[in-house]
Amino acid sequence: MFRLGIAVLGVGLLWSASSSRYLNMVLTRVIKAALARWTELEVRDYVRLLELEKGYAISELEVNPSDWLCGRRLSELALAQEGVLVLGIRRAKGAYVGAPDGRTRVASKDVLTCYGPEGVLRRLSSRLPGAEGDAEHAAAVEKRLRIRRQETDI
């Protein structure tokens, strides 16, 4: 019984430490100082840099043959109008296309690495093909425009 109490106490302490903002701040400073002193690594807080805590995400989307994305060029998809950037594409045979441009065609079994609003990425992964998907895209673009107008009015 005593060992169980010690184990529960230990888990509680670990949980408390892992959720402490103060401890996170202190450890981040210590790690940055150590890396700066003993390595040549450039340390960045990518979660903060990319606003990942504020509704943005980086996601991988696997393209199926029946997906809205499949067989179309990135310029046709106009994902940037929805707030989504395609950072890279892992092709089915293993090749990687980094920072693809609008001429890049999306193929079945490609895995797209995308950055954008979490909700948009979630809906994009299940968007239906054809006219229904095009209508959903148009609605997402309109919603993005409304958000942009609100941001510029502030």
The pLDDT value recorded for residue 37 is 83
The pLDDT value recorded for residue 26 is 85
pTM above 0.85, yes or no: no
**Residues of the chain scoring pLDDT < 50:** none
The pLDDT value recorded for residue 61 is 95
Beta partners for 92? none
Asked whether the CA dihedral 72, 74, 78, 81 is positive or negative, the reply is positive
Asked if 129 contacts 66 with a C-beta cutoff of 8 angstroms, the reply is yes
| Selection from 31, 41, 145 nearest residue 153 by Cα | 145
The pLDDT value recorded for residue 9 is 85
The pLDDT value recorded for residue 47 is 66
What ranges make up the beta strands (E) of 93-143?
A: 96-98, 111-117
The pLDDT value recorded for residue 76 is 95
Asked if 35 contacts 43 with a C-beta cutoff of 8 angstroms, the reply is yes
